[in-house]
Structure 1
């Protein structure tokens, strides 16, 4: 039996994308536990690597260099990634509460959420930024540096905290300003009489570096207030500061105090096997954890060393196997960035510094990131020696995509449906090829009905449901109708009854949210189990006047598009593990957003459709064929998802790409993205120029993007791309 045929029976939930969890994901991808479903909850698609932050601030690294791509890691590990904040945990019901969505059930859970440098100083929340979380600080730093470079503000910085982090960041920011030809005015404020966290030799070296970088060090001072342009000390002195950074110690996330988790000074208490006292199903690791069995300072090295033990013990918790204790080293090497490409190494009260040590630190940091970036390719199952004729050719081609990339090509579809006759009932007004069937309702206008289902693009049932619901509603919106009722059609992978119940609850909650927003009611459906998750809906809608179809367009009409293209390429690359996580997350977020307001503003369209599996060119061609017109479009006017153009230039495409090219040939400028199948794509409407301008203006007023991408002309012919 192949491991994918084994039913899912246990839910493992990793809360946070810290260093230890990132390494666990890599190991899980190399050796997953059959029967276990893995979920990761993290606010963003990437997690910054702390070891390279000073180098990034100093300008030695790009932002991408220090970001751990959690989307790629989760895809490699077969895990679903929920991009949101965990807000609470119910250990009795075994639920993790998540911002803006239903709780996530777990059988085993682990915390690796890091710490914050947020301080309880008056004015901190409004005018300062903590060094952690790193993504927030990094953005504030980029904005500050840009403003200083343009001359809008003075290069005044105050850093609160004279430990290793405060010293590294002070030197890094001073170096970045000096490199830009700007005289830095950085003040490092320390409450203790001397710098902390350093031995005597290391401290003297760092103090000399601070003086050389023209960083003012003030020790034995206490910050009492932070304002927009200065910091107030206990003595009454005011330190000018346009950017105030808190780097004084490690503070736990405040929401942990509202839980029933065992805490020590706000950090999650753990036992030698990294689980909680009295609760072997919940673990904690990294800076968010307290280890009373082996007290250690907050340092990333311990999270990295704990990762193999955590991976082993998580599997043990899921299989009722023996566990291993974590034995952190008592002494560890400190490698401290000194602003320029120089570093200091300290261990056993010995300290050395220089460019060679920076190169050593750089190799160590890059090796860590390479481990999480250079993921082994996913190997397909071995084929039998003997196959029926043609089977090997199909399997050797591009793997089948999910979403609309898995649809049957339009040419095959038209041939397969060619034997269908037109409607014989006078109440049925359908034309094959329109987005939805049209039924005349005596005395009640018109009803439209359509069905759509999607092979899962991602592992998250809730997000996949949102996308499938928006996708199905697209046909109703494209007809200018008001959604009415929906029937669900769900196929779940083989799983235990407990996981069936959890999964269906997530699907139901997500579907209800979308259809409630659209003004429709879910009235039933059908659920079964199969080889993989598939989610679909049959949806009806009502309209008092005849629905908008493909055939009403007029020469001179503008073509208005409400959503970018390129989702098929991004999802194909995601399946291959070559897409940037941030690009995948952005596309998924857009695909899950309803388009009811866009449909409202396009209700006067002469013709309309939604851009889905046949690609933008295919859907423009459908309007042209039905309306007996041609089209001219501007490739530069068409919005494209971030990352899609680069992937297209590298030759990435969906499995439906070639059938789409055959279905809708174009002339003029070549652009593969025109044939990219879209899932939950934008509405494509043909409107008179004046109506198009009004619709775009009204959508913009509501924060909805849309644009004119071309116009229709007399005579039938191929699409011209300018």
Structure 2
């Protein structure tokens, strides 16, 4: 859809906590036009703390635990930056995320939770596992539970969080005779009133959890925990649920703090009115409350309204938290304790109630409403068919079909210049300048992600592919940039992000960014014209010989995954892995393949189309073993579900290619963005590369014409 209203303000949400997740959902339903929304989070998902004990106990899967921020960001029209914020400068209005330029903002909100890190406890950094942030803990626990023999577990911190974890662990490991210890420097569950504490202590005892009280931990060992009195509590999995503290970088922002937490007033603003903070990382100065997820959830509508108000110069409203709240605590198995106003009850019905509440909370992020845009009542014949039933893909999925380009180029008159060598079928031109052979290529991509830095890396790696595929050394490039409509201030921010990223990516490849052109349009498009130098004859499409092995250097599936992501059908983790693969440079692979007989990069025409081009230029055929072709995680399942890129029909129609009608075969026609190299190499060279990471032997060149996938 075309962007009708220019961007004028940058709103950045730091962290994907419960409050921000709810704000993103509300924003997708009712955005504020003119605001460019950005989310910064270290990973594609945000675990829901309310279901963590149930996950640890084995009642929920990891997918059920996680909020998929990639799908949520797509729904909200937000760009998702996959990284961890480590610093913030309110004066410059920038946020530091490693390995990328500073992220600028006009208004920002912080929802990064707390950490259970124990930096002063010797050995914890090496042998302990943080309970918070939740993502890493969940991954480590999954691995431990799958391999534990006679498990020994220790939880440091006897508050409600530590007790819930200890009971969940004991329940999950109940068939393996576990030893689970809950360690506290005082009394376990000391913050509860007698009725609630009595029931919780009984639950711990029923599960065989050993409570170690009045115990100071002095060191965490590889297989145990040392106490101040010399005792060692055996443990192969030690986690910390005590001393929940703010992340270190929060203290360096320069905003008002309370015990290290960001101080906020009734409007959820910090001492800087353009910076908001919510959830466990914030302290409600006007009405202090304990760290509990219920308050983060209640803050969400107020944060949503106040962010919109701040960005449009309207009055803000005050958040007043409730005085007390219902505490539902998991007791290991499918049983829970409820506590409020000094009363406590436990039972299976309470667990079902808690399960219903938690699932309802998570369902709202899965069942996102469809925000459809209807066609006008009357359109010209063929409009509906041309639009299709899915959004137009970005990247190479948005390119024109191979046949149309070949037909147009084939009608051009042959050049009479002696310094230009025609290379039939290749994407680049070979020039001779002062006796030096120089490769020239150009390529451009419409955005597959709204993060301009990620897109800039992808575009640069993608354009460099033509240079690497010819065995040339990248030399210099100019940039062509189309930005969506935005104010001059946002233009400056975005151009700076893109140019510095492109320059860095080119620099790593040995090339220089020497200039560029910019314009405004309906969306982000990044193009590069690049030159490379050849010390020897370039590697072209022509030259493949019967008996050569076919080597591919990257898995396939980016077109399918990104087509699914546009429709919110792809898993966030698969999308992030796909984006990482697109950004992976191929310079080292090209060096290893320097003696290839023929080589190309696999991009818009898919593996089948590019291999067909190589075979046509070389006068040979090819046999490809489908099971030997690597595919990206998640791509095959999406292909089985019928997901196809916009360019797939054109790619599938390539003449001379035969393939079965299967999901795996469909991926052979999938347009790739920032794809790998495809090389025809001598068999001895293939033997050397066999088994090395990033080199996949997928078939052979044959004398018989045609490309066959079997």
Q: Give the aligned partner of residue 33 of structure 1.
A: 32
Which of residues 591, 595, 603 in structure 2 aligns to 1:604?
595
How far residue 360 of structure 1 moved from its aligned partner, in angstroms, is: 0.7
Q: Is the Cα–Cα contact under 8 Å of residues 435 and 450 in structure 1 kept in the other structure?
A: yes
Q: Is 2:220 the partner of 1:220?
A: no
Q: Give the aligned partner of residue 459 of structure 1.
A: 450
- Aligned partners of 2:515 and 2:191: how far apart in 1? 63
Q: Secondary structure at the match of 1:489?
A: strand
Q: Give the aligned partner of residue 419 of structure 1.
A: 411
Q: Secondary structure at the match of 1:323?
A: coil
Q: Give the aligned partner of residue 720 of structure 1.
A: 708
Q: Is 2:128 the partner of 1:139?
A: no
How far residue 144 of structure 1 moved from its aligned partner, in angstroms, is: 2.1
Q: Is 2:621 the partner of 1:621?
A: no
- Once the two structures are overlaid, the 10-residue window that deviates more, 361-370 or 198-207, is 198-207
- Aligned partners of 1:550 and 1:212: how far apart in 2? 71
- Aligned partners of 1:383 and 1:121: how far apart in 2? 62
Q: Give the aligned partner of residue 348 of structure 1.
A: 341
Which of residues 683, 697, 700 in structure 2 aligns to 1:711?
700
Q: Is the Cα–Cα contact under 8 Å of residues 435 and 476 in structure 1 kept in the other structure?
A: no
Counterparts of residues 146-161 of structure 1 (less than 5 Å): 146-148=146-148, 151=149, 154-161=150-157
Provide, for residues 558-589 of structure 1, a one-character-per-residue CA deviation record: whole Å limited to 9, x for no partner.
Answer: 11000010000000000011110000000101
Q: Secondary structure at the match of 1:17?
A: coil
Q: Give the aligned partner of residue 438 of structure 1.
A: 430
Q: Is 2:549 the partner of 1:544?
A: no
Q: Give the aligned partner of residue 386 of structure 2.
A: 394
Provide, for residues 457-512 of structure 1, a one-character-per-residue CA deviation record: whole Å limited to 9, x for no partner.
Answer: 11011110110010000001111101111010000111000000000000011101
- Once the two structures are overlaid, the 10-residue window that deviates more, 202-211 or 384-393, is 384-393
Count of residues in correspondence between the two structures: 706
Unaligned segments of structure 1, at least 5 residues: none
Counterparts of residues 85-234 of structure 1 (less than 5 Å): 85-119=84-118, 120-148=120-148, 151=149, 154-178=150-174, 181-234=175-228
Which of residues 639, 662, 667 in structure 2 aligns to 1:648?
639
How far residue 193 of structure 1 moved from its aligned partner, in angstroms, is: 2.9
Q: Is the Cα–Cα contact under 8 Å of residues 3 and 485 in structure 2 kept in the other structure?
A: no
- Aligned partners of 2:379 and 2:223: how far apart in 1? 73
Provide, for residues 198-246 of structure 1, a one-character-per-residue CA deviation record: whole Å limited to 9, x for no partner.
Answer: 2221111111111111111122222122211121222222211111111
Q: 1:423 to 1:197 in 2, by over 3 A?
A: farther
Q: Is the Cα–Cα contact under 8 Å of residues 343 and 357 in structure 1 kept in the other structure?
A: yes
How far residue 39 of structure 1 moved from its aligned partner, in angstroms, is: 0.6
Q: Is 2:681 the partner of 1:687?
A: yes
Q: Secondary structure at the match of 1:4?
A: coil
- Aligned partners of 2:504 and 2:525: how far apart in 1? 19
Q: Secondary structure at the match of 1:208?
A: helix
Provide, for residues 394-417 of structure 1, a one-character-per-residue CA deviation record: whole Å limited to 9, x for no partner.
Answer: 124433110000010011222222
TM-score (structure 1 length as normaliser): 0.96
TM-score (structure 2 length as normaliser): 0.98
- Aligned partners of 1:341 and 1:411: how far apart in 2? 60
How far residue 194 of structure 1 moved from its aligned partner, in angstroms, is: 4.3
Q: Is 2:303 the partner of 1:310?
A: yes
Q: 1:317 to 1:182 in 2, by over 3 A?
A: same
- Aligned partners of 1:58 and 1:284: how far apart in 2? 32
Q: Secondary structure at the match of 1:197?
A: coil
Measured on the aligned residues, the alpha-carbon RMSD in Å equals 1.3
- Aligned partners of 2:307 and 2:364: how far apart in 1? 21
Q: 1:23 to 1:664 in 2, by over 3 A?
A: farther
